[in-house]
């Protein structure tokens, strides 16, 4: 059986004794496979599931589960200990921001114990982003109006959240991403408008920290 790998993620730093690696692979004929391997394991464990799921977007890890989101709307997670696949949300519905149908890209990150979904909209000369957090009890998305002391870095296939201190005030509550032409752009979450990168530190130095 031929599978195509669509996503790879790890639960924590590779040096951690409980780090778990995860690979998601899809087949156009027989469903999909989620494979996991801990640093102490000698081989991969895999679980096969029927149906289809497009996991080519960002993957987030929180409290023993990997989270996946489709561009079309479904949100699901894979519980590592239980070896169980759970569909949490079938259709993305929002009471804030534009319709999901016009989103250019969708990103997802774990941030201080929350699962955040970022809908980015690219048009020539302008970028906008709307942030939502997963309300676990209600299984729905709730608008986030401020990131507080956090900054989000959005990339293709990999996005991350950083918790910052007072000395990093210059880049807190902001989103670092690229615009339609691939130029680095800084978004301020409270106004959802593009702002050119001026005196902010290079994002590459932030990634290295």
Task: For residue 12, give the 3-state DSSP assignment.
Answer: coil
Which residues form the domain of 134?
92-209
- Can you give the three-state secondary structure of 36-56, one letter per residue? EEECCCCCCEEEEECCCCCCC
In the block, which residue shows the tokens 């169980």?
A: 84
Residue 57 and residue 100 in one domain: no
Residue 74 and residue 143 in one domain: no
Residue 121 and residue 190 in one domain: yes
Residue 194 and residue 104 in one domain: yes
Residue 40 and residue 107 in one domain: no
Domain boundary among the residues 36, 65, 91 is at 91
Domain boundary among the residues 69, 91, 113 is at 91
Residue 98 and residue 79 in one domain: no
Residue 2 and residue 54 in one domain: yes
Residue 57 and residue 113 in one domain: no
Residue 108 and residue 70 in one domain: no
pLDDT in tens, the chain (209 residues): 577 888 889 998 888 988 999 999 887 667 899 999 998 899 999 998 988 787 767 889 999 999 998 766 678 999 999 999 998 988 666 655 555 455 567 888 999 999 998 887 766 556 778 888 999 888 888 889 889 899 999 887 778 899 988 788 888 888 888 766 666 777 776 545 555 544 444 444 333 33
Residue 67 and residue 103 in one domain: no
- CATH classification at residue 4: 2.40.10
pTM of the model: 0.80
Residue 96 and residue 23 in one domain: no
Domain boundary among the residues 91, 116, 136 is at 91
Residue 99 and residue 138 in one domain: yes
Domain count, the chain: 2
């Amino acid at each position: 059986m031929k599978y195509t790998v669509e996503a790879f993620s790890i639960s924590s730093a590779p040096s951690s004794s409980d780090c778990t690696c995860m690979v998601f692979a899809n087949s156009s004929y027989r469903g999909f496979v989620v494979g996991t391997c801990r640093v102490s394991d000698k081989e991969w464990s895999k679980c096969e599931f029927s149906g289809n799921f497009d996991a080519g977007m960002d993957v987030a890890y929180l409290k023993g589960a990997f989270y996946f989101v489709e561009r079309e709307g479904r949100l699901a997670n894979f519980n590592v200990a239980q070896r169980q696949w759970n569909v949490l949300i079938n259709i993305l519905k929002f009471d804030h921001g534009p319709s999901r149908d016009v989103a250019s890209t969708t990103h997802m990150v774990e941030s201080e114990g929350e699962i955040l979904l970022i809908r980015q909209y690219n048009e020539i000369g302008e970028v906008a982003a709307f942030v939502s957090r997963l309300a676990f009890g209600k299984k729905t998305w709730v608008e986030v109006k401020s990131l507080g002391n956090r900054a989000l870095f959005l990339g293709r296939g990999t996005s991350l959240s950083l918790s910052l201190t007072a000395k990093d005030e210059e880049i807190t509550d902001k989103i670092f991403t690229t615009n339609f032409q691939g130029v680095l752009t800084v978004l301020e979450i409270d106004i959802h408008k593009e702002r050119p990168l001026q005196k902010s530190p290079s994002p590459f130095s932030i990634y290295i920290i």
